[in-house]
Chains A and B, each alone.
Chain A
Amino acid sequence: MATSAAPASGTTPLPVLVGKSEIKPTWCPGCGDFGVIAAIEMALKRLKIPPYNIVLVSGIGCSSNLPHFLNTYGFHGIHGRSLPVAEGIRWANHELNVIVTGGDGDGFGIGAGHFVHAMRRNVKLTYVTMDNEVYGLTTGQASPTTMMGAKTKSTPSGVIEHPLNPIALAIASGATYVARGFSGDVKQMADLIAGAIQHQGFAFVDAFSPCVTYNKLNTFDWFRQRVYKLDSAGHDPTDINQAFARAQEWGDKLPTGLFYKTDRPTYEDLEEVLQAGPAVKQPAGLVGKESILDEFL
């Protein structure tokens, strides 16, 4: 089977910093996602993680196109299933930095079940959601975070469901790093994402990332008038009760920053098999283990 390319020529490419790929973002001009990708790139450069040790994983949606726009490894899978793919990657090779990106529909709608379980496992991942309170790529239907009363193509009389609270859900589900950023403040978001990547456990960063085409309610201006920073408001992110209380704030005041952070062993710390190193680097097969058959005699 001719699957092997030519052997290494001896000139291994030098590790370089994360940067943009040759693919230009396909987002609408002014999209909030430009702020998020800038923050991710900034954080990765600051942490000097080589791009070949990073896997960006996503599902489907405007924001899920993000992995194509940076020069890392990437897996752009099906709708709502980015987290299980990312977990599988971690359990095969936990030396990789795995960053999952996606939208509110992908993560909190079709993917909500995986969201909850990945957090309770405390898999070491960074999960950045570009939360624009609408389905953009499918041209403007209600999402799980669309506000009550909002009129969309699928809710012409206004949404009659209470919106999902990603921050409160993350804290309740066992995420060990829970933060919120805003595309209008790239520096803060880069700090939050850098913290998330360094965190030993499941790190969730929900990013307000306005859709300039299909959401005329939750605009940049709308967010700008409401956001305030938790770290300048005396919030203690080690206090889960304070974190829950801040997570309930919605309306005139929208907190951003680090809601909650705690230390708990990761899934990879507790999985016995991985104590011998990444699965991908371990021996495989039954050669030398023939005695396994004795139990069937």
Chain B
Amino acid sequence: MPEISVRTGGAAGDGIASVGEVLGKSLSRLGLHVFGLNAYQSVIRGGHVWFQARASSDPIHSQGDNCDVLLALNKETAQIHFASMNAGSTVVYDPEKFDLADGELPVGTKKLAVPTLEIARKYSNQSILQNAAGMGATAFLAGIPFPVLQKALADSFGRKKGDIADWNIGAAGAGYQFAEAHSGANDHAVKPVGEPKLLMTGNQAIALGAAAAGCKFLAQYPMTPASTILHWLAAHSHQLGIVVKQAEDEIAVVNMAIGASYAGVRSMCATSGGGFALMVEGIGMAGMTETPLVVVESQRSGPSTGLPTKTEQGDLNMMLGAGQGEFPRAILAPSDAGEAFRMTVKAFQLAEDWQTPIIVASDFHLSESIMTVERDELPFPGPIPSLYQVQPNGSEYKRYAYTDSGVSPRALPGQPGLQFKAGSDEHDERGRLISDVLSGIPIWVAERTKMMDKRMRKLEGLRAAGPAPALDGPADAPLTFVAWGSTIGAVRDATNLLRVKGVSTNLLRIPQVYPLATSQLVPLLSQAQKTLLVEANFSGQLGHLIRAETGIALPNRFLKYDGEPFTPMEIAQKALEVLNNGH
């Protein structure tokens, strides 16, 4: 088979994510494209969690829809996921744990009873080993050679050697052999296709991108789904020479990052919507003091604390409006791991070039899913230049000098003779406040306007400097999808499903959501025959922005806000409806 999806389900604490990651790693080491979705709840024990690892010899961009092998560690898993089993698929279960009558199985599916508990007991009384046995059976059905699984499993234990690793490998081997002996014809198996591929989460790609861009300081407060950026950079802090600080709250986080940037290092903070809300005043201060700042906002379902472990693109309006008053900013929205890396690098470059906050908009689906990426999708920038931009030349230094671009030469504390004050109050070219005794006096009223104009000129620079909107697929397709961020993955897969059915569509991607490159966007939208806006929020926030900036309305919308990621099939279905009946 060119493609396989393996789904594992059980309770939190069963090690579901570990099983999924080991299977995903095994598949990526066979040279396959992999996308893995980790679906969990905001509990540490109990509940229902599942992981889908999808692999294909062709590029894939989402978790897909259904599964070919279902490893059910409890009955609830079987009941919930029977509806998602493809024809010909197999459910793996242990009859010692629960019964599964033939009549319960979906039509056209098979079951494989594996004595996972019995296998586990041979090694230890730790019943968690059952999942290793189940994983072994599942790996056999997926066509993963045992040595590949064994290596991936051993690697997952890292430095933790000894009994626990040996028991898991033993149990997995026993499960594998059992499946080999009892499963009959194995028609799910995939074939190795090439060299191992890199496999990472969106958050790991962001963290790696930050390191590659020369980030020397990360401040963060734990919040799902951004926390793993903190975890990866903290684990690599010494190796990479990056100061990583978990602060007391997100207000401290953003102010620390601004302080570090003011003093001359590239700095970043990362959070989700709730923490971003706390950072808002600080982000405005970065805009006013013209301090470079990269902020990662990994969205989750809102409002308020919402669904902590579920995905959404509902924070765009907040990112657009974050901060009192007006200041230049850009919002970059990567769609996969490669883009997450490159756009993080780009965000640092834009922040430094334009001396203003740049937001990288991720979401749960991108941040926490694992996906394969090619090495050439992760270009490392060359040597990172020093941030010292200006040297004393005897003349009066103006930190906020009026320039055509709006960007003024930046001195760093410690440089002799260039002392200036960075102020969050309005100021003149030299940083002297015009907020107090001077406000309202005519020449300073004019100065205020000039300083606002100077800062806002940078917005036009950012509009041209960011990644441009792009149209993928045949230009004359009768339907154009419009999407941003992680939603693009499922749309790509949907366009492939539709193409197989003989339906031509194309995809208009908007990597820089703000400021929109309207001069490129308007012709692309104007040439579209029909459009379908796909967004994971209630009100179609990107659609509103496009209409506000271009006057072009996108009447056909597929909006989803149930917390679950889009699937290719539901998008394809919606596209067919629009082609038949839409505007």
Residues of A that sit less than 8 Å from B by CB: 1-9, 11-13, 15, 22-23, 26, 50-53, 55, 57, 60, 65, 67-68, 71-78, 81, 84-93, 95-96, 113-114, 116-117, 271-274, 276, 279-280, 282-287, 289-290, 292-293, 296-297
Contact = CB atoms under 8 A, between A and B. Distances in A.
Interface string B228-246: 0000000011111111010
Interface in B383-418: 383-384, 387, 389-394, 397, 403, 405, 407-410, 412-418
A207 B407 CA distance: 40
Nearest to A7: B391
B414 A88 contact: no
A15 to B, nearest CB: 6
Given A273-B243, A279-B265, A50 B259 contact: no
B393 A89 contact: no
B161 interface: no
A158 to B, nearest CB: 31
Contacts of A88: 217, 219, 255-263, 267
A129 to B, nearest CB: 18
Contacts of B245: 87, 91
> Which 4 pairs of residues, A with B, have the shortest CB-CB distance?
A88-B259, A284-B214, A84-B255, A13-B417
B164 interface: no
B393 A7 contact: yes
Contacts of A3: 353, 389-390, 407-410
B380 A286 contact: yes
A75 B397 CA distance: 16
A84 B212 contact: no
Contacts of A5: 389-391, 393, 397, 409
A116 B417 CA distance: 35
A32 to B, nearest CB: 19
Nearest to B232: A295
B570 interface: no
Interface of B: 29, 196-200, 204, 208, 211-217, 219, 236-243, 245, 247-249, 251-253, 255-267, 281-282, 285, 289, 353, 373, 375, 378, 380-384, 387, 389-394, 397, 403, 405, 407-410, 412-425, 432-433, 436-437
B209 to A, nearest CB: 10
Contacts of B238: 272-273
A68 B208 CA distance: 39
B198 A74 contact: no
B264 A93 contact: yes
20 contacts: A1-B407, A3-B410, A8-B393, A13-B394, A52-B416, A68-B421, A74-B419, A85-B262, A87-B252, A88-B257, A89-B263, A92-B265, A114-B251, A273-B243, A274-B243, A289-B239, A292-B208, A292-B211, A296-B199, A296-B200
B252 A93 contact: no
Given A3-B389, A68-B433, A50 B416 contact: yes
A287 B240 CA distance: 11
A293 B198 contact: yes
A76 B211 contact: no
B383 A287 contact: yes
B216 A279 contact: yes
B383 A95 contact: no
A84 B200 contact: no
Contact of A280 (B215, B265, B416): B265
A96 B413 contact: yes
A276 B267 contact: no
A7 B128 CA distance: 66
Contact of A276 (B241, B263, B353): B241
Q: Indicate the member of A5, A15, A67, A88 with the most B CB atoms within 10 Å.
A: A88
Contacts of B251: 81, 84, 113-114
A89 B216 contact: no
Contacts of A51: 419
Given A1-B405, A113-B251, A293-B198, 18 more contacts: A3-B410, A9-B393, A23-B432, A53-B413, A55-B413, A60-B424, A74-B421, A85-B255, A85-B259, A88-B256, A88-B263, A89-B263, A93-B263, A271-B243, A280-B387, A287-B380, A292-B236, A293-B208
A81 B378 CA distance: 37
B212 A117 contact: no
B392 A81 contact: no
Contacts of B213: 285
A228 B356 CA distance: 49
A289 to B, nearest CB: 7
B215 A117 contact: no
A273 B241 CA distance: 5
A198 B251 CA distance: 29
Nearest to B419: A73
A76 B426 CA distance: 11
